[in-house]
Amino acid sequence: MGRALRLGWIAVVSLSFLNIVYGQQKRWEPVGLSGGGAMFTPAISPADPKEMMLNCDMSGAYISRDGGAYWKMINHLQLRSNTQCRPAFHPMDSATIFAANAWSGLAVSHDHGDHWSPIGGIKGSLLGDIVIDESNPDNMIVGTDKDVLLSTDEGKTFTSCDEISGTYLTAHFDQTSPLNLRVCYIATTNGVWRSDDAGRTWKPKVGGLSDLRLKSFSAGSNHVKNEVILYCTVAVQVINGRLSGGLYKSTDRGETWVSAMGNGLNSDTTAFDQWSMGSVAQYPHIITNNANPSQVYVCNTNTGIPPPHHASVYRSKDAGRNWKPTFQGDPRFPDCNVERDYTVAVDGQFYQDVPNISVASTDPNRLVIVNGGTCYTTQDAGEHWACGHSRPASAFGHDAPQWDCNGLVVTTTWNYYVDPFDPKRHFICYTDIGFARSTDSGHSWEWWSQRGRAPWTNTCYELAFDPKSPGRVWGAFSNVHDIPNGNIIWGSHRATGTGGICKSDDHGATWKKCNDGLPITPATSIALDTHSGIENRTLFAGFFGEGVFRSDNGGVTWSEKNTGLGSPTNRRVSRVLVHPDGTVFALITAHQESRNFLNDGAGIYRSRDRGEHWVKVTESRSLLWPKDITVDPLDSRVIYVGASDARQGQAGLWKTRDGGDHWTMIFQAGPEHFGGYLHPNHPGWVYATLTEGAPKAGVWLSKDGGQSWKSISALPFSNIQRVVVDPRDPGTIFVTTFGGSIWKGPADPGDE
C-alpha cells in the first residue's frame, strides 16, 4: 500500500473510530493536542488486551478499545477518576470493569465503561490495585485508606482482612492453589502477608527483606508450569559504597526473599549530571503476570539524562537475574525505540519521568505506561513503544508538524480563538504545554516551536488580536498555572513566579516579549482598546499580585495603573477587558490566609478614564472569590460575574443591570462557578459554567436571560471554564476546561 493511500486510510479509520467510541456523546468531540497532563493507574483487560483504562488527576477517566491509539473520556456523571486506585477488568468478560468512582467507593460497568453503578457498599477512598482472581472472578481484593477488603461474590459484599497493617498496595491470587482453599497475598507499605485458607487468616512473609517499607509488589502464578514468583521493591541505599535494597523476589511463596538486583540495572552510586532524580536509581513500580512469571518489568528513577543513567523500563526474562532497559525515548542518544510525540518532534529531546506501568495478565509482551504527561504502549515486550497520547495528522509522517486529537485530553485550557481574518486559523491557550495553533479549522494542531516560543512556557492565559492588522496578536504568559482556581487560592500550588506579555506578527508562529515597565510576575490577561490608533495601540494587561498596566504604544512600554484598584495586599488581577464603549474592567480574585478569605480588594472594578482611576463595582455585593467577568457588548452596565463559595451564599452566577448598584444571583449549581457567557446571535442566551465540585453538569444554558436553566449533561467533562461561540457557525460552541482540554459541540443541546 502506498504511503499516501495508507495515511488516507488511517485518517478514515481514525475518524470512524472517534465516531464509534463517543457513541451517545457523538455530538461532542475533543479538540486540540492530546496528553500533556498527569496520568495514572493504567490497566489492561485480560479478556481483550486491546481494551485499556487510565485515570487523570483532573477528574477524567479514559477507555481505549484499540490498544491505546485512541481514547474515550468516560462521562463524569458515570465515573470520575481516582488516581490512587488501579481499575480492574473482568478476566473473562471484557465488557465488565471495576473502578473507584473518585473518592466515593467502588463502581462496576457491564458495557465497556459507558455506564457505571455503585457496588459493594464500601466507605472511604479506594487505594492501590483492584485485584480479581483470574480463574475465579468471584474473588476480589481492594483497599481503602483504612482497610483491606476481600469479596467472594464478585464485589457485592466485602469483609475486612483485620490482620493486615499498613497502606494497601496490591494483592495476588495464587493460580496454582485449589479454588476452595485459595492461597492469596496482600502487600502493603508494611510488608507482605499470605493466606493459605482463602483469606480467613493471614501471616506476614517478609524473611530476607532488608526493609519492610515496600514501594511496590507484583506476583505471577502459572498453574500449567506450577510456577509462583513474588516480586517487591524497597528503597535503594548505598552502604559501604555498594547498593543495598531495591528489588527482591521469592520463589517459595514468600517464605524467603532474595535480591533480584541482577546484571544490567543502573549501578550508579552518585548522580551523573545535574538533571538526575537522585544519586541512586529507585524502583517505584514492578510488574509481572500469570502468563509468564519469570518475565518481569520495573520502572526506575534516573541518575542522569543519557543512557545508561536514564529513567527507563527494565525487563528481565529470567526472574531478575539479568535486566535490559527497554525504553529510550530521547533521539539525541543511540537506540531510541519510542515513537515521537509533539514535544519530542519540536524540542528534539525526551523529557524523562518515572512511569506507572501495567502488563496484560494473558500476554507478557503487551504493556502500557503513563506518567506526568505521556502514555506509551508496546506489544513486543518493550522492543518498540507506540505513542498513546499523540497521533501525527494523516497528511504527515513521524515528525509531524501537525497532530490529531486522539481523545486522551488531560490538559487545562483557558481560551479558544478563531483568527478574525482567517477562519481556518484557530488557537488554544493551555496550561502545562503553553500554546497551540491550527491552520485547518481545528482538525489538526501544531505545538509552538522552540524558536520564537514565549519565555514563560507553562501557561498562556489570554490573547488579544489586532482587528486591523492581520497576524498581529498579543499574549499573556506565565510560569504559574491554575489562576484563579482552587490550587492557587488554597495554596496547593505556589502563587508566585514569572510571566509577561509577548507579541506576535505572524499569527502566533513566533513570539517576542514586550515587557518594558512590567513586573516579571504571572501575566493573566491582555486586552486591546479598539478605539486606539493602529500604529499606537492601547493595551491593558493584568498581573497576579501587581494589578493592571497600560501601554499606549502597542506594548513597547508599559505603566502601572492601580489608583483605586484593589488593596495594597491584594491586586491579584486575573482578568482585564475593554468594553466597546471604552470602559475598562478588572477582576481581582480571592486572597486567603490560614484558610480564611480576606475582604481586602477582591471584586470587580471599572475605569472610565483608561485605567487612571478605578471604582469597585461589587461594593454593594461582596464577592470574595470571583473568577470571571462578562460584560454585555451592547450595554456596559450589564455585567455577569461567576463566583465561588468563599463564604456561604456567594457561589453562583451574579448579574447586575445597573452597573453594580444592585446584584442578583441568577443561577447556583455548585461551590465553584467560573463565569457566564453570552451567545452573540441569540439575545437572552447565557451559558453558566462551574469549574470544580459540580454535583451534576459543568455547563448550563438559559435561553431567557437566566430565569430558567437546562444542563448540558452529554458533555463528558464537568470542570468547565469558558464557552466560546464559533464565529463561523453560531450553532457550534467551544468549551474550555480545567483539565479536559477543549470540547466542541452544539450551542443548543436540545433534548439530550
| pLDDT score, position 8 | 35
| pLDDT score, position 397 | 53
Distance CA 430, CA 411 (A): 7
414-616, what's its fold?
Methylamine Dehydrogenase; Chain H (2.130.10)
| pLDDT score, position 751 | 67
| pLDDT score, position 4 | 31
Residue 523, amino acid:
A
Least confident of 392-401, 429-438, 708-717, 718-727: 392-401
The full DSSP string for 509-575 is SS-EE--BT--SS-EEEEEEETTS-SSS-EEEEEEBTTEEEEESSTTSB-EE--TTSSBTTB-BEEE
| pLDDT score, position 20 | 44
| pLDDT score, position 648 | 83
Is the per-residue pLDDT at 3 higher than 60? no
Distance of CA 423 to the CA centre of its chain: 29
| pLDDT score, position 396 | 57
Segment 408-437 shows an average pLDDT of 97
Residues 6+ apart with CB under 8 A from 2: none
Confidence of residue 595 (pLDDT cuts 50, 70, 90): confident
Q: What percent of the chain has pLDDT over 70?
A: 95
| pLDDT score, position 498 | 98
Tens digits of per-residue pLDDT, 449-498? 999 999 999 999 999 999 999 999 999 999 999 999 999 999 989 999 99
Distance CA 361, CA 378 (A): 14
Tens digits of per-residue pLDDT, 323-332? 999 999 999 9
- Measured between its terminal Cα atoms, the distance across the chain in Å is 42
| pLDDT score, position 399 | 57
Q: Where are the beta strands (DSSP E) in 26-180?
A: 29-31, 39-44, 52-56, 61-64, 72-73, 85-86, 88-89, 97-100, 106-109, 117-119, 126-132, 140-144, 148-151, 159-160, 168-173
Confidence of residue 660 (pLDDT cuts 50, 70, 90): very high
Residue 17, amino acid:
F
Is the per-residue pLDDT at 176 higher than 50? yes
The dotted CATH code for 3-392 is 2.130.10.10
Least confident of 175-179, 673-677, 706-710, 748-752: 748-752
Segment 368-380 shows an average pLDDT of 96
Confidence of residue 265 (pLDDT cuts 50, 70, 90): very high
Q: Which of 603, 493, 513 is nearest to 558 (CA)?
A: 513
Segment 611-617 shows an average pLDDT of 98
Beta strands at 85-86 and 126-132: parallel, antiparallel or unpaired? parallel
Is the per-residue pLDDT at 1 higher than 70? no
The full DSSP string for 195-240 is ESSTTSS-EE--TT-S-S--SEEEEEEETTTTEEEEEEEEEEEEET
| pLDDT score, position 507 | 96
Length of the chain as a residue count: 752
Tens digits of per-residue pLDDT, 44-83? 999 999 999 999 999 999 999 999 999 999 999 999 999 9
DSSP annotation of 489 reads: H
Confidence of residue 10 (pLDDT cuts 50, 70, 90): very low
CATH 2.130.10.10 maps onto the chain at: 3-392, 414-616
Please give the mean pLDDT across all residues of the chain.
94
The secondary structure element, H or E, covering residue 654 is: strand 652-656
Is the per-residue pLDDT at 124 higher than 90? no
DSSP-H helix ranges across 398-532: 486-489
| pLDDT score, position 745 | 97
Grid-cell match 472569590, residue found? 625
Please tell me the number of Cα atoms within 13 Å of 43 on its side-chain side: 33
Distance CA 677, CA 628 (A): 10
Confidence of residue 689 (pLDDT cuts 50, 70, 90): very high
Least confident of 23-37, 79-93, 174-188, 496-510: 23-37
pTM of the model: 0.94
Tens digits of per-residue pLDDT, 278-295? 999 999 999 999 999 999
Tens digits of per-residue pLDDT, 639-652? 999 999 998 889 99
Q: Which of 444, 414, 440 is nearest to 429 (CA)?
A: 414
Query: What phi, psi does 5 have (nearest 5°)?
Result: -65, -40
Q: What percent of the chain has pLDDT over 90?
A: 92
Q: Which of 638, 709, 630 is nearest to 674 (CA)?
A: 630
Confidence of residue 395 (pLDDT cuts 50, 70, 90): low
Confidence of residue 752 (pLDDT cuts 50, 70, 90): low
Confidence of residue 344 (pLDDT cuts 50, 70, 90): very high
Tens digits of per-residue pLDDT, 17-37? 444 444 444 499 999 999 999
